[in-house]
Amino acid sequence: MTNNDCLRQLRDIQDLDETAMITIFALAEQQVTPDQMEALLKEDEDPGFTACTDTKLAAFLNGFIIERRGKREGEQPAPETQLNNNIIFKKLRIAFDLKADDILSVLSLANCQLGKHELGAFFRKPDNRHFRVCSDEVLQDFLSGLKTIFREADISQDSITEPDKAS
C-alpha cells in the first residue's frame, strides 16, 4: 500500500474535499497548495501524479489527529521521515480514539480475524520480542472496515466506538 493510497482512502472514509485535506496538513504546519494536493490524490498512472513522501503522510496523519482529537499541550510532534504500516496504524488508532475491541470490530467488518495479542503486537516497540510487522493486508482491511462504518453504513462519526452496531 502506497502513501498515496492511504491518503486517498482517508479522503474517502471521511468524505474530505481537497480544501479540508489542505487544512489538515496546515494543522501539522505543513503547507500544501491546491495543485500539490490534486497531484497527491491522482492515481499512480495519471499524468501529473506526485508520490507522497513518508514525511508528508506523517504530517497529514499528525494533522488528522489534531483535527479529530484536538491539539495536545506543549510542542507538537515532528512528522516522521520514515513510515511503516505499524506507525500509520498507530496514528489512525489515536486519531479515531479506538481501543483494542473497537479495532477488532472494525477489522471483522473486512473479514480479518485477529486476536487481542496479535493486535497488540502491532503497537509494540520494534525491539520488543513480541513486536509484529503490520502487513499491507491488515492495514488495508482496517481502512476497509473504517470505510464500511463511515461511508457505506452511513453511521455518524460519533459511533465509531460502537462499530458492532453497524453489522
Band (pLDDT 50/70/90 cuts) for residue 153 is low
Per-residue confidence (pLDDT) for residue 50, from 0 to 100: 96
Q: What is the pLDDT of residue 152?
A: 64
Spell out the alpha helix ranges (H) of the chain. 3-14, 18-27, 34-41, 54-69, 85-95, 100-109, 116-122, 136-147
Confidence of residue 156 (pLDDT cuts 50, 70, 90): very low
> What is the spatial distance between Cα 30 and Cα 52, in angstroms, rounded to a whole number?
13
- Residue extents of the structural domains in the chain: 3-69, 85-166
Query: Other C-beta atoms within 10 Å of 155: how many?
Result: 16
- For residue 151, the model assigns a pLDDT of 72
